[in-house]
Amino acid sequence: MQIRRARALVAKKKEPAASRDGVIPTAAGLVYGKLRADILRGVLLPSERLRVNDIAERYECGAIPMREALNRLAAEHLVVYSEQRGFAVAPISRADLVDLAKARSLFTEVAMREAVLNGDAAWEERVLLAHHRLKKVPRYLSLEPPRPNTAFDDPHREFHSALISGCGSQWVVSLCERLFDHAERYRNFSRRLAVVPREDEHQQIVDAALARRLKETVALSKRHVERTVDIILDQASRDSASVLIN
């Protein structure tokens, strides 16, 4: 009986963990999540070639699920494909950063206005809880040299998702989250160049939003997005090895 229980426990440990919606991910789903995280965090560099067999070996999966994951990431514009070069990490540039920030600013203005006007008590609780969790996680593991803390990424995303979740439109929330993820590539790039404390900005947005100060909330939220661009471009101009080449 004890042997059977031990075998059952071992078998259970080998099973992939279920996602938040209770669905066990496929091999393609698992490698998609790993690839996506490595692209957003800059482990896989902009424009880096992704040879299917090479990265399948690196991520310990088959070529078929790897290709499926790459096609899925290409649909999200995090990976690009060409007949000549195959798959590669999507490039980044000054022009793309500015365009991305403009889109984020427009959607943020709409989302935050609607959230402040229509957010209910449950929205307020989500914002407070997400902000509390975010404050407990340091942005950096060390300051000299700057070492970003990857444990900061998920609470940071969840905090910004909580802020806009009261807008009443899942389409707006989904688009804002997609734009946030693309901006994450640039944020992680800038965090490796310099330490810029920004926690006060989060607190100011929370205070204004929960006090229902509409104009102030919108202005602070948009400025939060725009300041990211200012920081990245300023640091890129100081760094001769910057990947923001155009």
Domain boundary among 89, 119, 149: 89
- Three-class SS state of 66: helix
Domain boundary among 74, 89, 104: 89
Q: Residue 194 corresponds to which amino acid?
A: A
- Three-class SS state of 142: strand
Number of domains in the chain: 2
Same domain, 177 and 190: yes
Beta bridge partners of 82: 86
Same domain, 165 and 99: yes
Same domain, 175 and 228: yes
Same domain, 151 and 138: yes
Residue 3 lies in a domain: no
Q: Look up the domain containing 47 and give its range.
A: 17-89
Q: Residue 99 corresponds to which amino acid?
A: D
For residue 49, the 8-state DSSP code is B
Model pTM above 0.85: no
Same domain, 103 and 170: yes
Residue 246 lies in a domain: no
Output the tens digit of pLDDT for each of the chain's 246 residues. 444 443 343 333 334 444 444 445 688 888 999 999 999 988 999 999 999 999 999 999 999 999 999 999 999 999 999 988 899 999 999 999 999 999 999 999 999 999 999 999 999 999 999 999 999 998 888 777 778 888 999 999 999 999 999 999 999 999 999 999 999 888 887 776 666 777 789 999 999 999 999 999 999 999 999 888 888 888 777 765 555 545
Domain boundary among 89, 113, 137: 89
Q: Exposure string (b/e) for 50-63, b if CB count within 10 Å is 16 or more? A: bebeebbebeebee
Same domain, 185 and 206: yes
